[in-house]
Amino acid sequence: SKVPPIILNNGVEMPQLGFGVWQVPDDEAQTAVAQALEAGYRSIDTAAIYGNEEGTGKAIAASGIAREDLFVTTKLWNKDQGYDSTLRAFDTSLAKLGLEYVDLYLIHWPMPAKERYVDTYRAFEKLHADGRIRAIGVSNFYPEHLERLIGETSVIPAVNQIELHPHLQQHAAREYHAEQGIATEAWSPLGQGKGLLEVPAIVAIARKHGRTPAQVVLRWHLQIGNVVIPKSVTPSRIKENIDVFGFTLDTEDLAAISALNEDRRLGFDPAEFNGE
C-alpha cells in the first residue's frame, strides 16, 4: 500500500491515513468502501452507531484483499458501556463486519458522568488478551479521562481518536498523548469540509503547491504526526484525499496553518456528551 504506517505503542502498524464512513448509509457504505479500497486505502474507520458495519464488511469481503493487509477500526457505542455489555456488543460488531478480529476497537465517548469507561476498558483488555482485537484505544477522551484509565487498568491505550483540524488543534491533548506514547487520530480532519477549505491561507498554500485545500490540510496532519481518516462518498475526492504523499509542506506553510487555531469545535464537548 502507498500509505506509510505509524507504529502503535504495542508494535502494531497502523496506516497513517484511512477512510472514515460516518454518515454513510449501510447500502452506500459498501460502494464507498469498495471505491476506497480500489483507490489504495487499507484502513477503514467505522463504528457500531454508524449503522454501516455490514456494508463495510461486505466491501472488505468482496475486495479479495488479504485480511492481514487491512486495518479495520470499529467503536463501542455509549449504551453498551459496561463489562458484560461490551463483550456482547463486540460480538455483534464482529458478526456484522464478518471478521474474525478487528485491528482497533475504541470506546466511542468517555461519558464521564456515567463512570463506566474503566469497566468497559477492562472488557477491551480481555478481548485484546483473547486475540480478538490487535490494539485497543479510546475516542474523545480528555487527558484527565486517560489519566484515570491508565491509573486503573494495565494496557495503555494505543490511540485516542479526537476532533482535530486547523481550527481545533488540540495542543494539550497532543502533548499528553506524546508523553504517554498514545497515537493521536484526528476525526473530522477536514473540518467536515465546511469553511475550512476556503480559508485564504489554506487556498494560497494549495495554489503554491498545485494541490487542493483538502490535500494541504491532510498533509499538515500527516507532517505533525496525526493519523487521519477523511470521509467522502465522491470517487474523485476519495482518490484526491489519499494522493497526499507526493508533496511536502515547508516550515512556512506549517506555521501559517498552525496560526489558524481557534479552539473551535464542530462536535460535542466530550466532558458533557452522555447521549445513548
Three-class secondary structure of residue 142 per DSSP: coil
**Residues 143-182 within binding reach of ligand NAD (CB under 6 A):** 161
**Coil, strand or helix at 265:** coil
The answer to whether 15 contacts ligand NAD (rule: CB under 6 A) is no
Active site residue 117: no
Task: Scan residues 108-137 and list those touching ligand NAD (CB under 6 A).
Answer: 108
Of 94, 241, 253, 256, the residue at the interface with ligand NAD (CB under 6 A) is 241
- Write out the three cell numbers for 132: 480478538
Per CB under 6 A, the list member of 41, 124, 187, 220 interacting with ligand NAD is 187
Closest CA to 103 of 77, 131, 125, 82: 131
Measured at the CA of 186, the angle between CA 262 and CA 57, to 5 degrees, comes to 145
Nearest distance in Å: CB 227, ligand NAD? 11
- For position 45 contacting ligand NAD by CB under 6 A, the verdict is yes
| Size of the residue set binding ligand NAD (CB under 6 A) | 26
The nearer residue to ligand NAD, 81 or 139, going by C-beta atoms, is 139
Segment contacting ligand NAD (CB under 6 A): 16-24, 57-65, 127-135, 202-210? 16-24
Find the catalytic residue in 50, 105, 117, 142.
50
Give the span between the Cα atoms of 64 and 54, in whole angstroms. Answer: 16
Question: Quick one: which H or E segment has residue 106?
Answer: strand 102-107
Residue for grid cell 512556512: 252
Q: Which of 193, 201, 235, 245 binds ligand NAD (CB under 6 A)?
A: 193
Q: 3-state class of 276 per DSSP?
A: coil
Residues 46-105 that bind ligand NAD (CB under 6 A): none
C-alpha separations of 50 from 75, 169, 216, 237 in Å: 9, 25, 28, 21
**Interaction between residue 197 and ligand NAD (CB under 6 A):** yes
Query: Which of residues 129 and 268 has its CB atom nearest to ligand NAD in the complex?
Result: 268
22 is an interface residue for ligand NAD by CB under 6 A: yes
Taking the CB of residue 94, how many other CB atoms lie within 10 A of it?
Answer: 21
β-partners of residue 104 are: 73, 135
Cα 202 off chain centre by: 23
Active site residues: 50
Q: Which residues would be at the binding site for ligand NAD (CB under 6 A)?
A: 20-22, 45, 108, 139-140, 161, 187-193, 197, 212, 214, 229-232, 237, 240-241, 267
